[in-house]
Amino acid sequence: MSMDPEDWFSDYVRGFYTGIEEDDRNIELKEVHTRCVRGNMERLCAALCLDAENRRLADNIALFHDIGRFEQYRKYRTFSDRKSVNHALLGVRVLARYKVLAGLPDQARRIVLRAIAFHNAAELPLSSTGIERTLMQLIRDADKLDIWRVVTTYYHRKDRTSNKTVELDLPDTAEWNPKILEALMSHRFARLADMRTLNDFKLLQIGWVYDLNCGESFRIVQERGYIEAIAETLPDAPEIRAAVQEALRYIADPPLTRNVHGGVATAVDENPT
């Protein structure tokens, strides 16, 4: 790769700013998100004591995991994969089109591309093992950790004006789907297909705790108070309070028997991040 990855990313993203306030706000949202995901990834890699080579791969994965979002928004004006295209696979095509990873050895390039391709998938491929699977799991965690930052900041803005790209075009009404709560109480990742309202999306975001992989990820969720921040914006109903408390109990004492250094991974629906 002739250009530094970060320089290429910055030059590429710069071309998507239009001077139109709404468009630029959404492009900036994903640009800042990318940089924050890199920070999360760095912390997770440090917690796992990964070596320098694998940390470089992890950083490339974090830097380019959402590279497809920019073309997705320009063409479809949405971040909803269901209403447009799979942004992860689009990102892989963008990287191939511009030969961004040409300077990496074949095996390293394959790991980076597969981690990007599966960062929003229903589940990780059974063929993924070793460091490839670890990096796949870490990008999913690093991504969710920053999406929590984005949505909690958005939900708590006192002067909030609706941004449909953040809300996935869901109506902001008082209702919620009991199926979402059932999934949360069963420690299952709720299905996107069951979302009807913004409250459903908020509950689904709480359910992401059941798809975390790394022990450090649970510590970050606790220290940043993301679950409590989302819960504050939900209706004050007994069944919702119960689901929130179950999620908080889970992150305080997560299973320590599977996957990356005491984390947990479960099969999920499309991850809208």
| Alpha-carbon torsion (179, 157, 39, 60), positive or negative | positive
Instruction: List pLDDT tens digits, range 168-221.
Output: 888 999 999 999 999 999 998 778 889 999 999 999 999 999 999 999 999 999
Distance CA 181, CA 240 (A): 7
Mean pLDDT of the chain: 91
Q: What is the pTM of this model?
A: 0.90
- Burial label for 51, CB within 10 Å (0-12, 13-18, 19+), is exposed
Topology (CATH level 3) of domain 5-141: Hypothetical protein af1432 (1.10.3210)
With H, G, I as helix, E, B as strand and everything else as coil, classify residue 212. coil
Give the pLDDT confidence score for residue 165 in this predicted structure: 84
Give the pLDDT confidence score for residue 256 in this predicted structure: 64
Longest dimension (CA), the chain: 57
- Average pLDDT on 84-107 reads 97
Residues 6+ apart with CB under 8 A from 20: none
pLDDT at 125 over 70: yes
Distance CA 238, CA 242 (A): 6
Give the pLDDT confidence score for residue 193 in this predicted structure: 85
Instruction: List pLDDT tens digits, range 212-262.
Output: 999 999 999 999 999 999 999 999 999 999 999 999 999 999 986 345 543
Which residue intervals of the chain are DSSP H helices? 5-14, 21-47, 52-64, 68-76, 87-97, 106-117, 130-155, 164-167, 178-185, 198-206, 215-224, 226-231, 238-252
Place of tokens 């004591």: 49
Higher per-residue pLDDT: 272 or 25: 25
- Write down the domain spans for the chain: 5-141, 165-262
Nearest CA to 136 out of 110, 105, 97, 102 is that of 110
Which amino acid is it at 63? L
pLDDT at 16 over 60: yes
- Average pLDDT on 85-94 reads 98
